[in-house]
Structure 1
Amino acid sequence: MILTIFLALVFCVAITLMMFSAVAFIQDKKFFSSAPKEAQEALLPREKELFYGARTIGWTLMTFSFLMILGVGVISIWDGFRSGFTLWQFFFRFVFIFTVYKLYDMICFDYFLLMKFQFFQFYFPEVESVYKNRKYGYNIKSQLLKLLIIFPAASALAAWICTLF
């Protein structure tokens, strides 16, 4: 259980690193496809780097975050095999990691970073009017769909696949 909690925290750190590198350093519009349509339309392309080497730093951090996410997957499966996990143990591990991540995403990213601290608006001030009168970031229906249906279903499928081996 301690390893599962640790892996969930590492997953959240990796996602934070990924978001930070995309917003603060790389600043490419294609990374913001989950933003509301109004925000996507308001975004101005950033041809010039924030500072010399910013995109290199961003891509390095992005690569590191992908490796961390991959590591979470590999370690969670490998440890499950090593410990002789059942379907339900694999399922619980996967659904726990995804649930912690999604709650973290909804609370920290969408509410605190986007709405309270206006992190995204600091780097992209042209979208400030899109988020001005919102109480919550955006796409709450999509977030809840992932939290309550998609992630548990993906966890069940992954757990079943792991028990085949």
Structure 2
Amino acid sequence: MITTLSALAAVCLLSLAFILIIPCFAATKIFMRFLPRDIREAAKTHPDPSLGRQIIGYLMTALAAAGYVGLLFFLGADGLRRGYGFWLLFGRFMLFLYGYKLFDILVQDQYIVITRKYYVKFYPETKGCKSWDDRSFNTKNQMIRLIAFPFVCALMAWVTLLIGR
């Protein structure tokens, strides 16, 4: 349990650092695709960072994704080392994914994006957009993930056992 919670804390910190830093490095079109339509429209004319900064942004994105996947592999390998069966691995992956999703919804989406309006600092042309106050802007995507997680976790547990034994 401590290992799973430590991995969860690590991925949350990695994700937090990433979302706070990436606006300085990402191309506007790529960064804005995660935000509502009116914000994307308002930011259309925002200049992209230099090519060098964008390359750094792509590298940071790749490192963050590798860190996330690496933690999942670590949790699976550690579970095998400890002799976990399907249900313990499944529970571990569920705790990890749902814990991260809770952090994503409450801290990243609701607090940083909506309450603090953090990205308005980087994209001032989006200041008057109504979606900055819409707490349900990402509900459909979040619900799809929340519904898919048990199936994803079952698949990850099964693949982990298949590979590890």
Q: 1:48-59 to 2 correspondence within 5 Å?
A: 49=49, 54-55=53-54, 57-59=56-58
Cα deviation, residue 61, structure 1: 3.4
The separation in 1 between residues aligned to 2:49 and 2:33, in whole angstroms, is 20
**Which AA in structure 2 matches 1:138?**
F
Q: Is 1:156–2:154 an aligned residue pair?
A: yes
* 1:141 paired residue number: 140
* 1:5 paired residue number: 5
Give yes or no for contact 1:14–1:66 (8 Å, CA) kept in 2: no
The C-alpha deviation readout for 1:113-160, integer Å capped at 9, x for no partner, is 11221111111122222246725161223213312x112221111112
Give yes or no for contact 1:22–1:58 (8 Å, CA) kept in 2: yes
Q: Aligned residue pairs: how many?
A: 163
Identity %: 25
Give yes or no for contact 2:23–2:119 (8 Å, CA) kept in 1: yes
Unaligned runs of 5+ in 2: none
Q: 1:64-83 to 2 correspondence within 5 Å?
A: 64-83=63-82
The separation in 2 between residues aligned to 1:95 and 1:133, in whole angstroms, is 30
Q: After alignment, is 151-160 or 52-61 more displaced?
A: 52-61
Alpha-carbon RMSD across the aligned residues, in angstroms, is 2.4
Name the SS of the counterpart of 1:49 in structure 2: coil
Cα distance, 1:60–1:161 mapped onto 2, change above 3 Å? closer
* 1:40 paired residue number: 40
Name the SS of the counterpart of 2:127 in structure 1: helix
* 1:19 paired residue number: 19
Give yes or no for contact 1:44–1:126 (8 Å, CA) kept in 2: no
Cα distance, 1:7–1:131 mapped onto 2, change above 3 Å? farther
Name the SS of the counterpart of 2:133 in structure 1: coil
* 2:117 paired residue number: 118
Give yes or no for contact 2:26–2:58 (8 Å, CA) kept in 1: yes
